[in-house]
Structure 1
Amino acid sequence: MLVKYGLLSALKTATWLQLIGSYSSDSDEDEKIIINKPKSQILPLPKDIANWKGVQYVEENIDVPDNHDGRIRSFQHERGNWATLVYINYEPGEALSSWMTSINKILPNANLIINQCHISLSRTLVLKYHWIDSFVNSLKKLCQSTDKFSLDIGNLKIYTNEEKTRTFLGIQCHNYDNKLKGFMDSFSKILDDYKLPQFYQEASYHISFLWQLGNEVDNIEKYLPSLNDSLHDVLTKTIDQNHIDVDEIQCKIGNKLYKFPLRR
């Protein structure tokens, strides 16, 4: 029985070694495993190997706009680069959510993003893998020293991304006790430490809830007066949805989400 078990164990070990030989890493185990063979000859990476501590397995990432409603990457995916966003999460109340949905009847070609509403506090950043821990720790410490604050909801405003490939309709948000400004001033210093781009010089904090492909500013602008009137009508009837209580900051790095509570 022991001999039989030993033979099976040896066969399994040989199989694992053969599969491992199909993959290689550039240097140490902190690097992602990169596939060197042509895609048609690639064997599936065994799950047990993919889950080894310190090893990140990432398949080749090719941008195909048709897979995500025609959206185009603002920067190319590169091994070791992690897309990062710092933001305030926002979940609209029932009345405001219903109003946002009604805008689709006025702008039928627009795409609603109610389930992903947020208030950006950074541009889309590109973090190197070896920066992540220290960046997260710096942001965590900043949040621990920042008091929670409130944002007041204002008028609608039209935005575009820097490439002018997408147009967004958003609700402006204002903070009048300067706690957000204090947070952003300190956060700017963290970005400087990593030579990362600052947030927009004339920051306009807002909740984007709808987008269209291309530069549609002129088309949407003609609807703004009536849309603002209807928004104010909803907010007048639901006073509790006029403001947002902010008690945490969120940060998404790749597919990992961090939540940092603010000081009470």
Structure 2
Amino acid sequence: MAGLHLIKTYSSDSDEDKYDEEKEDDDKIVNKLALPASILSLKGDTCHEEVIDNPSDHDGRIRSFKHERGNWATLVYIDYTISDCLRTWMKSVLNELPIQGDIISSLHISLSRTLVLKFHWIESFVEGLKLLCRGFHQFVVQLTDVKVYCNEERTRTFLGIYCQDEDGTLKRLTEAIDCLLAEYQLPSFYKDISYHISFFWCLGDKQIYLKKILPSLTCSLNKFLAENMEDTYVHVKEIQCKIGNKCYSFELK
């Protein structure tokens, strides 16, 4: 249309007047159809802006995978409600440690790695996990000794209380969860599984320092458990799954 208007400029005065009127009408249409600047540039739209992780916002912790829109951090685990007495024992451990760190407030036994779940997988994954849990009976886990753990990136070190069950339900449950994860091409749990409740963490790989005091910590824990038998066993009645900020619970039969 712009090219045709340029040709009309070589016509009569009446044609020029007609051109001016048409141009004015075209400008009005263009103004009405113009997209908002926020859509054109996506500037300020938090749904489209890249999320840059700042370790200083998380006590120096570093994400193990990049945050991307549509990806949800996911973990399958057993929630553990700690007693006041055991919490007191954990805090007393701080005085024996050769390094600085913090006691973990929310405790659990992991049954999967921290996974990246696509948004459109969530509904079917949750349903699959729900059906899976219906096939397992409630069971009991025993707390035994203290061990040291380090994440794959060697950015954090943990102290944890090792857990075991007598009939192998933990292993069978983990294997079933791994089969479900395979359907979504997600990584299975670690090969050398050490079920545990992490209660202390610190930055960096500090295993060499903490391993030296594991015998004394285990001795202290065993003494505590002998005097507080009710804290020795964990009765597992349900399995939890956290996807993003949403938590799901699945009862065992």
TM exceeding 0.5 = yes
Aligned residue for 1:128? 118
* Offset at residue 59 of structure 1 (A): 6.6
**C-alpha distance in 2, partners of 1:161/1:215?**
8
**C-alpha distance in 1, partners of 2:221/2:171?**
26
Aligned residue for 1:28? none
Aligned residue for 2:173? 183
Given the superposition, is the C-alpha separation of residues 59 and 175 from structure 1 closer, same or farther in structure 2, using an over 3 Å criterion? farther
Percent identity of equivalent pairs: 49
Q: Which has the larger radius of gyration?
A: 2
Contact 1:61 1:77 in 2 (8 A): yes
* Offset at residue 36 of structure 1 (A): 4.5
Aligned residue for 1:262? 252
Deviation digits for residues 48-70 of structure 1 (CA, Å, limit 9, x no counterpart): xxxxxxxxx58752200011111
Given the superposition, is the C-alpha separation of residues 58 and 204 from structure 1 closer, same or farther in structure 2, using an over 3 Å criterion? farther
* Offset at residue 104 of structure 1 (A): 1.6
Normalising by structure 1, we get a TM-score of: 0.78
* Offset at residue 37 of structure 1 (A): 2.9
**C-alpha distance in 2, partners of 1:149/1:22?**
58
**C-alpha distance in 1, partners of 2:129/2:222?**
35
Deviation digits for residues 111-169 of structure 1 (CA, Å, limit 9, x no counterpart): 110x2110000000001111000000000001112111110101111000001111000
**C-alpha distance in 2, partners of 1:99/1:258?**
30
**C-alpha distance in 2, partners of 1:36/1:249?**
44
Q: Unaligned 5+ residue runs, structure 1?
A: 1-19, 25-34, 46-56
Given the superposition, is the C-alpha separation of residues 104 and 36 from structure 1 closer, same or farther in structure 2, using an over 3 Å criterion? farther
**C-alpha distance in 1, partners of 2:41/2:250?**
39
Aligned residue for 1:37? 42
Deviation digits for residues 228-250 of structure 1 (CA, Å, limit 9, x no counterpart): 11111100001111110000100
Contact 1:84 1:127 in 2 (8 A): yes
Aligned residue for 1:143? 133
* Offset at residue 222 of structure 1 (A): 1.4
Aligned residue for 1:197? 187
Q: Unaligned 5+ residue runs, structure 2?
A: 1-34
**Quick check: 1:219 aligned with 2:224?**
no
**C-alpha distance in 2, partners of 1:58/1:204?**
39
How do 1:1-264 and structure 2 match up within 5 A? Answer: 21=36, 36-39=41-44, 60-107=50-97, 109-113=100-104, 115-263=105-253
Contact 1:151 1:245 in 2 (8 A): yes
Which aligned segments of 4 or more residues in structure 1 are displaced greater than 6 angstroms? none
Number of residue pairs the alignment of both structures matches = 219
**C-alpha distance in 2, partners of 1:23/1:196?**
36
Aligned residue for 1:11? none
**Counterpart residue identity of residue 119, structure 2:** Y
**C-alpha distance in 2, partners of 1:23/1:234?**
61
Contact 1:95 1:234 in 2 (8 A): no
Secondary structure at 2:75 match in 1: strand
Normalising by structure 2, we get a TM-score of: 0.81
* Offset at residue 23 of structure 1 (A): 6.0
What do you get for the CA RMSD once the two structures are aligned? 2.0
Secondary structure at 1:219 match in 2: helix
**Counterpart residue identity of residue 164, structure 1:** R
Secondary structure at 2:187 match in 1: coil
**C-alpha distance in 2, partners of 1:209/1:144?**
29
* Offset at residue 21 of structure 1 (A): 5.0
